[in-house]
Structure 1
Amino acid sequence: MKSLFKTVASAGIALAVSATTLMAGPLMDRINKGEPVRIGFANEVPWAYPGENNKPLGFVNAYVLGVLHEMGYDNVTPVVTDWGGLIPGLNAGRFDMVTGGLYILNSRCQNVDFSEPMAKVGDAFVVPKGNPKNLNNYSQIAKAGAMFVTGAGYNQVESAKKGGIPDDHVMTVPGPTEILAAVRAGRADAGGVTYFTAQNLAKQSNGALEVSDATQLPEWTQSWVGIGFRKNDSDFVKKFNAAQKKYLGSPEMMKAVEQYGYTKANLPGDKTAAQACAMK
């Protein structure tokens, strides 16, 4: 009887372990096997960008590394791709999360799961010095018949349409470098990016470009930033959100991100990912 009892008990334990394993998503399965967490990002200064040997730099990367450390995960591998390849690369299994600074948009929520927000950020334009055409919001660009440039896959593509800019006046390019080049060369009158990116591009232009007056943009251009995960990694997302709740806004976090320009004004408030998904 004792032997039979031990056999049944052992089988029960094995089944419980098996069930736990089955419930684990691909990311937790990798972690349980001792494999690294692969973070995916593009070259988006100061959000997330590669340093020497693809070292993950930028305030979103710094933030994510802090949350992962809070969770006890320090085995991390960076994977650099272009912006348009972030969500496809995530769902194709090339990396395990997107740290590139994704706005939580309804169109993206159909394809990925987001962590709870880690930042609130607005749009801005880079324009020629002096802003000669007075382009500070999307409707002004539409009325002026001006050419607008932004990155492929950027939320500003949707914003331009909502703001009334016709499709034939919207140019899409791979990323910030090409946006800067298009406005500097006069192929576009305004480049649509985030406020953080606009500041960085203006600095890179050596005085040729400036940042538009972002206060003239409507409230609906404000967006919340989350970390993107595959739909079948919901178990990990729950753990990430629990750790994020402790880390977000902490002295440790603010110290890690301050060099990139993130301040307390960028904290997301009480907006949830579900609310952000429903808004935009």
Structure 2
Amino acid sequence: MKKTLISTAILALATLMSVPAAQAKEWKTVTIGLEGAYEPWNLTKPDGTMDGFEVDLAKDLCGRIKVECKYIAQDWDGMIPGLNAGKFDVIMDGMSITAERKKQIDFSRPYAGERAGFATLKSSDLAKIPGKGTIVTLSGDATKDKATLDTLREALKGKSVGVQVATNYAEWLAKNFKDVITVTEYKTVGEADLDLAAGRVDATVGDITFYASVLPKPDHSEMTLTGPEITGPVWSEGIGPAFRKSDTDLRDMFDKAIGEAQADGTIKKLSLKWFKIDMSPENKS
């Protein structure tokens, strides 16, 4: 009996040693998941094709990596499940790089920084929150950020604020304001803005680049930014592409390509084209 077990073990070991090592996947096509509804990061044109900062950047990165890019629309709240289920290979959808998300997925280096702010109606008393036109850097530590938080808490007390679900903005509101405001979550920022225009919420909070894109449009003519723009570690390590933890080779390919695009000015050029400001991250090459 013992001899049989030993022989079987030896045979199994020999069989294992004879099997070639698994080869890394040869990436010829990469499918990128995005909302197609987060202008100017990404948007869907009338003919159904995708456009925007991230689409332009993806085309550049895929050219450097020498793979074919394909795009698939995905609701925001299904992004991470869709990636891990293999529905697509990369998320490029204005996704913040956070420690919580790193538990589920991997990120390469960021391709953009992050700034957020509040929007309200021009006729609202919230349009007069102090700090409009300024930029404040928050650490994420409530003690260090107390002066700014106290000003905002006082201004927003008793109000309702709309925010996109499953974002770091939603988490920040819940952490710092839930005792003084009513938070309403939406699947998209656009839905929050519709409720703002209809008077169902008093303000919304979101990415400054999104507001910069939509506020000049006629259907947003009654909206305005209010209070300071907020940047810094409070949000994230930046905006970047996300990958399955198993696809380290693809992550590394994108990491290298983003570094090259940052170094040669491509990211800055695309940022100015779509955002009218330079949102490129600090060069980490």
TM range (shorter): 0.7 to 0.9
Q: Which has the higher helix share?
A: 1
Aligned AA for 2:160?
M
* Structure 1 residues 271 and 110, CA gap change in structure 2 (3 angstroms): farther
Q: CA deviation at 1:88?
A: 1.3
Which residue is 2:65 aligned to? 71
For the aligned residue pairs, the C-alpha RMSD in angstroms reads: 2.7
Aligned AA for 1:127?
T
Q: Is the 8 A contact 1:98 1:227 kept in 2?
A: yes
Which residue is 2:212 aligned to? 199
Q: CA deviation at 1:47?
A: 0.7
Q: Is the 8 A contact 1:122 1:195 kept in 2?
A: yes
* Equivalent residue pairs, number: 246
3-state SS of paired residue (2:247): helix
Which residue is 1:114 aligned to? 107
Aligned AA for 2:21?
A
Deviation digits for residues 230-265 of structure 1 (CA, Å, limit 9, x no counterpart)? 11111211121112211125244444443211643x
Aligned partners of 1:234 and 1:122: how far apart in 2? 29
Which residue is 1:132 aligned to? 125
3-state SS of paired residue (1:116): coil
Q: TM-score, normalised by structure 2?
A: 0.77
Structure 1: where are the runs of 5+ without partners?
1-14, 273-280
Correspondence 1:255-274 to 2 at 5 A: 255-261=269-275, 263-264=277-278, 266-270=279-283
Are 2:184 and 1:171 equivalent residues in the alignment?
yes
Q: Is the 8 A contact 1:97 1:228 kept in 2?
A: yes
Residue identity (%): 22
Aligned partners of 2:79 and 2:215: how far apart in 1? 25
Q: TM-score, normalised by structure 1?
A: 0.78
Q: Is the 8 A contact 2:121 2:224 kept in 1?
A: yes
Q: Which runs of 4+ in 1 moved over 3 A?
A: 134-143, 217-223, 251-258
3-state SS of paired residue (2:185): strand
Which residue is 1:180 aligned to? 193
Q: CA deviation at 1:67?
A: 1.2
Correspondence 1:51-90 to 2 at 5 A: 51-52=45-46, 54-73=48-67, 75-90=68-83
* Structure 1 residues 123 and 256, CA gap change in structure 2 (3 angstroms): closer
Which residue is 1:148 aligned to? 161
3-state SS of paired residue (1:77): strand
Moved more, 57-66 or 114-123: 57-66
Which residue is 1:242 aligned to? 256
2:21 pairs with 19, 22, 47, which one?
19
Aligned AA for 2:165?
A
Moved more, 230-239 or 122-131: 122-131
Which residue is 1:278 aligned to? none
Are 2:205 and 1:210 equivalent residues in the alignment?
no
Q: Is the 8 A contact 1:148 1:169 kept in 2?
A: yes
Aligned AA for 2:221?
G
Structure 2: where are the runs of 5+ without partners?
1-17, 131-147
Aligned partners of 2:180 and 2:209: how far apart in 1? 25
Aligned AA for 1:214?
P
Aligned partners of 1:269 and 1:252: how far apart in 2? 14
Aligned AA for 2:120?
V
